[in-house]
Structure 1
Amino acid sequence: MTFSIVARAVDPGTGEPTWGVAVASKFLAVGSAVPAAVAGVGAIATQAEANVAYKGLALAHLDEGATASVALDRLLDEDERSEHRQVGIVDVDGNAASYTGPSCFDWAGGRTGRGYAIQGNILTGPEVVDAMEAAWLASSPDQPLQHRLLAALAAGDEAGGDSRGRQSAALLVVREDAGYGGNDDIAADLRVDDHAAPITELKRLLDLSDFYLTASTEAEKVQVTPEIEAELETYAAAQGAAGFRAWVGTENYEMRVAEDLSWIDRRILDIVRTPK
């Protein structure tokens, strides 16, 4: 009832390793059950008759130094209903393992390669995981992992996806110090729990996440001159704000404007300059 991709890549902006999971299903809130990842450890998707305990167990095995295949073997050996499970794991080094139990409902299967594990069950056919693999391999390493994962998920959906229909999707990506303000490792953690077009909605949320929760690049920064500062303050006053910094806080644009107002993201400047 679910299709997913688990992967490891190098972040193009920082050069640091990144792990993530993207998943979609005709199932309510699939993001609450399937994905788990820890920076510097690895990532897992547990699905079909999902054993959610696999998430903590697998990450513990990986943290102890087990490879993806060893961690997977341990999970299955300890589970008397392993024939009903489907799992994908990628470890700290990018080794990948995928398992589809013989009792999973058709169509069910997976694909693995260096740095990725793709799997799905109750799909329209093998073309779903084939399309996901092709999209992953065609994606540019210059893209952030979350965008590559979402592209693969969308390709699977377009190829047929879950044979029962669409309901939810989720995206989880981790990298050391990638979180808001650098205070945790969450690069992206987005869920669409119940929606007619969950992957389309997930894409919209990812675009918003990129805008609100990531810092401006040097190419996006515009130096604030005295003339621009006056323009910004005039705009803020027109919005009823007690200064431009107050307006920035109200709109949650802190990642896109320098605290000392020495620069502003060009997209924020466009917002200021676009008539409403």
Structure 2
Amino acid sequence: MTWSIIARDEQTGAFAILCASKALAVGAVVPYGAGRTGVIATQAFANPFFGVDGLRMLQEGCSAHDIVAALSASDGGRDHRQLHLIDREGRVAAYTGSACIEWSGSVTGPQVSVAGNMLAGPQVVEATLNAYVSASGRDSTSV
């Protein structure tokens, strides 16, 4: 089981990432980020190259969508992986491989994404997104 939330503050441009897992030392495997660049979470059977290569692509100005497409297309293990990221413009993209153990998936909103695997169901990521929106003072109709 791994769960993560990534977000970008619209006013300051600051990024945040939080992850939790049954796996030991998840903080050394899942989160990647760089100021003024973006954040990436790679999980399920995490691929650290998603973080390394994804950060390079973010620094080059690639969009979140293009990065997720490129990284997942080039990885033979993509069916067992999850990836979500936010680029410097606040664009969000997510990918969940078809072989990830149930329940696995993600939900996104403006400048925020929540992903998880081996969860009780989609209500877990939906509740996380709703809690974030509520706590951030955002208008829930914009999610």
Q: Does 1:122 align with 2:118?
A: yes
Question: Which protein has the larger Cα radius of gyration, Structure 1 or Structure 2?
Answer: 1
Query: What TM-score results when the alignment is normalised by the length of structure 2?
Result: 0.92
Larger RCO of the pair (alpha carbons < 8 Å, separation 6+):
2
Residue of structure 2 aligned with 1:38, choices 16, 28, 34: 34
CA distance in 2, matches of 1:69, 1:91: 9
Please state how far the C-alpha of 1:16 moved relative to its aligned partner. 2.8
Q: CA deviation at 1:74?
A: 0.9
Pairing 1:180-191 to 2, within 5 Å after superposition:
none
Q: Which residue, 79, 82, 85 being the options, matches 1:86? A: 82
Conserved? CA contact 1:7–1:21, under 8 Å:
yes
Alignment of 1:68-147 (within 5 A): 68-140=64-136
Question: Matched residues, percent identical?
Answer: 39
Contact persistence 1:89–1:97 (CA under 8 A): yes
Bigger fraction of residues in strand: 2
TM-score (norm 1): 0.49
Which runs of structure 1 show a deviation greater than 6 angstroms over 4 or more consecutive aligned residues? none
Partner-residue secondary structure (3-state), 1:71: helix
**Alpha-carbon distance between aligned partners in 1 of 2:109 and 2:97, rounded to the nearest angstrom:** 19
CA shift digits 1:172-193 (9 cap, x unpaired)? xxxxxxxxxxxxxxxxxxxxxx
C-alpha distance in 1, partners of 2:102/2:72?
Answer: 20
Give the superposed CA RMSD: 1.3
| Corresponding residue of 1:9 | 9
Q: Post-superposition shift, 1:141?
A: 5.3
The amino acid across from 2:103 in the alignment is W
Which consecutive unaligned segments of at least 5 residues does structure 2 have?
139-143
CA distance in structure 2 between the aligned counterparts of 1:132 and 1:119, rounded to whole angstroms = 10
